[in-house]
Amino acid sequence: MELTLWTYEGPPHVGAMRIASSMKDIHYVLHAPQGDTYADLLFTMIERRGQRPPVTYTTFQARDLGGDTAELVKKNIKEAVERFKPKTLLVGESCTAELIQDQPGALAKGMGFDMPIVNLELPAYSKKENWGASETFYQLTRTLLKEKVSSSEKISPLRWKELGRRPKVNILGPSLLGFRCRDDVIEIQRILSEQGIDTNVVAPLGASPDDIERLIDAEINICLYQEIAEASCEWLKRNFGMEYTNTIPIGIKNTIEFINEVHNKLDLPLTNKEELEHKSKLPWYSKSVDSNYLTGKRVFIFGDGTHAIAAAKIAKDELGFEVVGLGTYSREMARQVRATAKELNVEALITNNYLEVEDAMKKAAPELVLGTQMERHSAKRLGIPCSVISTPMHVQDVPARYSPQMGWEGANVIFDDWVHPLMMGLEEHLIDMFKHDFEFVDGHQSHLGHTATETKDLINSDDKKDNNPKEGIIWTESGRAELTKVPFFVRGKVKTNTEKFAILRGILEISDETLYDAKAYFN
Amino acid sequence: MSKVEFNKEAGPREVFCGLTSIVWLHRRMPDAFFLVVGSRTCAHLIQSAAGVMIFAEPRFGTAILEEKDLAGLADAHEELDRVVNDLIARRPEIKTLFLVGSCPSEVIKLDLATVAEKLNNRFLGQVRFVNYSGSGIETTFTQGEDGALKALIPLMESSNEEKLLLVGTLANNVEDRFKKIFGNLGISNVESFPPRQSTELPKIGKNTKVLLTQPYLSETVRDLKHRGCEIISAPFPLGIEGSTEWFLAAAKAFKISELKVHEIISPLINRAKLALESHKEILKGKRLFLLPESQLEISLARFLHNECEMDLIEVGTPYLNKELMKEEINLLPDNTKIVEGQHVEKQLDRVRESNPDLVVCGMGLANPLEAEGISTKWSIEMVFSPIHGIDQAADLAGLFSKPLKRNQILTSKTLVTH
């Protein structure tokens, strides 16, 4: 049993709903009690969808449990098939139905329908949302293509040459409730098309079962989000020989590497290599003198595996930040996140507990947080600027304007989205600096409002979770005064370091000089 | 009783389960913690229904059952014990801990009553434990509050003091207004259940006169009757008419003359009628379809028809207690179609066929209906907004007139529609 106050991921059947809702001509019969219908609002409210998710909930009640819940399942399947006439039917159960073991998938298969039926077994007590989405997409692909496995030869990435046409690829992984998937797909298709590469199928977003059956018309697969598509890409590789890409095109370097990887796999000459460096404004914006102040900005990153890793690389290599924390809630991608963290000399935080993330954030004393909607709240409480880079998200993270994360435009969006909160952070700093001037209007605030931590709170706070060894140490008047002059966003860090230094040296009273001694020591 | 048409329907539903009521209950009682014993789905449901959580640590959480709890590898009761110990160590300010059953905990027959009893003994004098079920196999949305209140009744001491007990969660400002008005009427001993602090439970007995503020409390009412309380039969205090009848019923129980009531509330009524005018102008003659969710539907239909002159197409309710709703049903126009239960697909067919001007529905259905050109109002807002009482009548009407007004603005010829 695990105490959870808030969870980054929903249960695995919500992942299945993400696949079903992303696609056309699919219906999902979910053996579940009435309360599980809450999941519809994730799609209709957060994504502002104008269609209901294609899901029928069997809505069994306590009084049905003594009777025949299997009959109820069959009745709902029959009605759903008659009403929605899906081309493929997904059948599964949520956590409670898993316990009563009606095996709805097997029941559906015994009902004599012509359409393919995918039996989804998603263990609700051990797995989570992204795993459920990945498994559903995999089972669906497998069900719709397994008959073609034996009859088809292995697909060569060079087949397009024999066929005398442009190379074709599939873009796999984008789904509803994924981060900016809608726009990433457009950006990637545009980039591929400029390189003379056609998109065969995008799936699951916008695809129908017919499109899934057409996947093998392409030469290779683009695995755009490993969390969702890697299992399917791997199956397509094993059974049809289709190669797939590993580079996630977020940031300039990775976008160029992605284009290279696609060209290499297809054996397509890359003719516009120099041009690629100038496709996005990010490199110049980052180089322009105004961005000098970005150098060494301390950034804390937490999100899904794909976006957290990409953010860490951009932060370090393309914006010149210092990554002071990196973590993910995607246990499936823990290994990769750990590897990236090691390269950056930080310890990876792999957790589903947002309070642990907040604690780590506090300790790292960053100047910018890149995270999910929950890190936005934590950062707000700590008075640190934040930009959202990953699901789970809020309705405001689904903007009306075109705002991809991937490709050239994605890099532009990232520059703006990460740097603007810092500009405002700088404004906060200036307000802090000038607040003793007589022109200063009392109560003047930046966008951060009252949330930024006051020095006196920092000094007086007796956080019992903070294992800071500060017993017996006193801050003198001059020490306190000096600490208030430190910019608010590093004040916590300076305080901790100074106390650490004082203990190390056996200093009992911290004066302004101790502060400077500590500063020199830690430099 | 007016000639109302009763129907029952069964099938797939689109409603919240009783766990959702934790969202307003935990705000009402800031010294209580609600610990759901359930699955990741339960945790995800509450955080999704509550919207974005802006507080550091909420006063509700889920003890998520894992494979090993189900396989019998770990003793679920011991595991729960451990979670509760951790929780209390972390949140020592908690005075009452609700152990809330869920669909999975009910199906595996986790005995939360025994767990609560053991914990009560251990934490005697520090934290009180009560248990109830908010499971979706037994409860719909607001019924969760019914379960939580029922669970508190055994903790309420007995007293034969004469008092008026308002039962059902109210917004604090509305509660204050009500107490002031009752004071003016000469009823000064007024208490609320649930109280603002979980430890300040009112004492009850044969001289306790219960006046319900919410229509979804069937079980609570039954247990209060068993404790000797007198239940005052009245419509619910939504709108001017409902609130007036509600005050009159209370006054009658305390032998206060009707004249006195009218004297006190007439100025409020006049003021409220004036405030209601602009909303009525928009709502008048518009056709309303209410989908089932909160059990407030019948009272809302009565208000929107009788005071705002809307036409009622269908009034859905997840559950109908005819005895408790007697006074409300009497005030409904003849031939009102009430549908208890739901087959969401068939009901949406009827929505489309009847071409309503406004549909009251859950958040999962609102945008899809809007996309079809049908204006909607989310029902969850009714349980989060102060809508009770005469002074709030115009605000209540405003919840329904706003989407229509917006629709008028957006579909005027300055904007292209599609």
SS (H, E, C) chain B: CCCCEEEEECCCCCCCEHHHHHHHHHHHCCCEEEEEEECHHHHHHHHHHCCCCCCCCCCEEEEECCHHHHCCCCCHHHHHHHHHHHHHHHCCCCCEEEEEECHHHHHCCCCHHHHHHHHHHHCCCCCEEEEEECCCCCCECCHHHHHHHHHHHHHCCECCCCEEEEECCCCHHHHHHHHHHHHHHCCCCEEEECCCCCCCCCCECCCEEEEECCCCCHHHHHHHHHCCCEECCCCCCEHHHHHHHHHHHHHHHCCCCHHHHHHHHHHHHHHHHHHHHHHHHHHCCCEEEECCCCCCHHHHHHHHHHCCCCEEEEEEECCCCCCCCHHHHHHCCCCCEEEEECCHHHHHHHHHHHCCCEEEECHHHHHHHHHCCCCEEECHHHHHCCCECCCCHHHHHHHHHHHHHHHHHHCCCCCCCC
CB pairs < 8 Å spanning A and B: 186
Residue spans of chain A under pLDDT 70: 152, 424-471, 488-489
Q: Is any Cβ of chain A less than 8 angstroms from the Cβ of B93?
A: no
How confident is the model at residue B55, as a pLDDT?
59
pLDDT of residue A455: 46
- Is A455 within 8 Å of A483 (Cβ atoms)? yes
Work out the minimum CA distance from A118 to partner chain B, whole angstroms: 21
Residue B73 pLDDT greater than 70, yes or no: no
Is the C-alpha dihedral spanning B26, B29, B31, B35 positive or negative?
Answer: negative
Q: Residue A424: what residue type?
A: M
Q: pLDDT by residue (tens digit) across A430-445?
A: 666 666 666 555 555 5
pTM of the predicted model as reported, rounded to 2 decimal places: 0.91
CB contact under 8 A, B16 and A35: yes
Chain B residues near residue A126 by CB distance under 8 angstroms: 66-67
Q: What is the pLDDT of residue B160?
A: 96
Query: Which of A16, A236, A242, A13 is CA-nearest to residue A144?
Result: A236
Q: Is B15 on the interface with A (CB under 8 A)?
A: yes
Predicted local confidence at residue B381, as pLDDT = 86
* Confidence (pLDDT) at A369: 97
For the ranges A447-456, B47-56, B215-224, the lowest mean pLDDT is seen at A447-456
User: Which are the contacts of A194, defined by CB distance < 8 A and separation ≥ 6?
Assistant: none
The token duo for B355 is 């071409």
Residue B415: is its pLDDT beyond 70?
Answer: no
Given an 8 Å threshold on Cβ–Cβ distance, is B62 in contact with A3?
yes
Which CA distances in Å does A259 have to A93, A266, B95, B167?
41, 11, 60, 66
pLDDT value at position A463?
A: 43
> Is pLDDT of B52 > 60?
no
Interface test with B, best of A125, A362, A394 (most B CBs within 10 A): A125
Tens-digit pLDDT profile for residues B152-208: 999 999 999 999 999 999 999 999 999 999 999 999 999 999 999 999 999 999 999
Q: Nearest-CA residue of chain A relative to B141?
A: A35
- In the three-class reduction of DSSP (H, G, I as helix; E, B as strand; rest coil), residue B54 is classed as coil
Q: Supply the pLDDT for residue B2.
A: 58
User: A1–B76: do the CB atoms touch at under 8 Å?
Assistant: yes
Task: Check residue A452 and give its pLDDT.
Answer: 46
* Option in B13, B47, B107 nearest A100 (CB): B107
List, as ranges, residues 195-234 from B with C-beta within 8 Å of A. Answer: none
B65 touches chain A (CB under 8 A): yes
- Percent of chain B exceeding pLDDT 70 equals 96
List chain A residues with CB under 8 Å of B13.
Answer: 34, 37, 57, 59
Mean pLDDT of chain B: 94
